[in-house]
């Protein structure tokens, strides 16, 4: 009579597998000393660990089963998933590795390199020194800078796992970082040159005081025609025979810092010219002679 030998797996061997691979029970733990061939159990990575990036058969859980040995009567804990079993059979490699994280210090360095800052104070205080995958925050370009491809005033960043690795990095909307570009500005020196070329002056000393050394795009200031020059519109110049009253009191000439960093007449004053203050009509000369006789 032939006696059939029972083949079991030692559950202590499963504990060793778990320890060597940073695995913990994913379902009910096995409580007996041994388990018969065919017994299966589910495992998962321990806290702050994730599966190797090489593992494609599963994103979280792995299943192992008590399998018959090649020889002897002690079973072996194995996985039916080939990529998992390759790692379990390699004592130099662990199935679970510390979970990828993104550091706040790395983010600060990236922001400095790419001329960016936190969109609001709570976007910074929300972050930890080390941040888990999918942690989000918001950034914007530093003052006086524009993003080369993003139109929104702020943009989302996310801690993202680098494809094919167990490392993580901060990404902007899933794309690579781009450096914010300094906006074109208009200098106060150039404004003086602009005024001289158009026979204009600051409307008042107070206006001059509030013009910055460098003005940002769309900054507006107020000028007037220089003493000895009259403010005229293109229509008035074209209509020299008009009987309209000569403009004598100064009115605002609006100038704006343009997109290219040059001062230009605003749309409200784009037809204004400062011409030499001469009498436009013969009657003006007669009135002046009569006044001083």
pLDDT at 259: 81
The closest of 10, 123, 130 to 76, measured between CA atoms, is: 10
pLDDT at 235: 55
Say yes or no to pLDDT of 98 above 70. yes
Say yes or no to pLDDT of 293 above 90. no
Give per-residue pLDDT as tens, 53-83: 888 888 889 999 999 998 888 999 999 999 9
Measure the N-to-C terminal CA separation of the chain; round to a whole number of Å.
Answer: 153
Say yes or no to pLDDT of 251 above 90. no
What CATH number does domain 101-182 carry, 3.10.20, 2.10.70, 1.10.246, 1.20.120?
2.10.70
Give per-residue pLDDT as tens, 207-216: 999 999 999 8
pLDDT at 91: 86
Mean pLDDT of the chain: 86
Q: Which residues contact 242 (CB under 8 A, 6 or more apart)?
A: 236
Give per-residue pLDDT as tens, 138-197: 999 998 888 888 878 899 999 998 877 788 999 987 678 999 998 888 999 999 999 999
Q: Where do you find CATH 2.10.70 in the chain?
A: 101-182
The closest of 73, 92, 90 to 7, measured between CA atoms, is: 73
Cβ–Cβ under 8 Å, residues 218 and 226: no
Say yes or no to pLDDT of 206 above 70. yes
**pTM here?**
0.55
User: To the nearest whole percent, how much of the chain has pLDDT over 90?
Assistant: 55
């Amino acid at each position: 009579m032939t006696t059939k030998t029972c083949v079991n797996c030692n559950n202590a061997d499963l504990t060793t597998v778990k320890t060597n691979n940073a695995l913990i029970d994913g379902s009910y733990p096995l409580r007996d000393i041994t388990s018969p061939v065919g017994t299966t159990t589910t495992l998962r990575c321990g806290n702050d660990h994730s599966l190797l990036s090489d593992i494609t058969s599963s994103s979280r859980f792995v299943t192992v089963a008590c399998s018959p040995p090649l020889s002897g009567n002690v079973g072996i804990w194995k996985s039916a998933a080939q990529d998992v079993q390759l790692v379990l059979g390699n004592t130099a490699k662990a199935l679970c590795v510390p979970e990828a994280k993104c550091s706040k210090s790395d983010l600060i360095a990236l922001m400095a390199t790419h001329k960016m800052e936190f969109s609001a104070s709570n976007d910074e205080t929300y972050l930890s020194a080390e941040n888990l995958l999918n942690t989000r925050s918001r950034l914007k370009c530093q003052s006086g800078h524009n993003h080369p491809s993003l139109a929104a005033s702020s943009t989302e960043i996310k801690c993202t796992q680098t494809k094919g690795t167990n490392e993580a990095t901060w990404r902007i909307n899933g794309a690579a970082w781009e450096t914010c570009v300094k906006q074109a500005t208009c200098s106060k020196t150039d404004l003086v040159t602009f005024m001289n070329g158009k026979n204009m002056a600051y409307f008042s000393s107070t206006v001059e005081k509030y013009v910055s050394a460098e003005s940002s795009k769309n900054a507006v200031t107020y000028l007037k025609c220089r003493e000895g020059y009259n403010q005229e519109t293109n229509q008035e110049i074209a209509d020299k025979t008009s009987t309209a009253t000569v403009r004598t009191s100064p009115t605002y000439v609006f100038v704006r810092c343009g997109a290219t960093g040059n001062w230009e007449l605003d749309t409200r004053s784009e037809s204004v010219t400062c011409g030499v203050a001469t009498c436009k009509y013969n009657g003006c000369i007669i009135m002046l002679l009569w006044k001083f006789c």
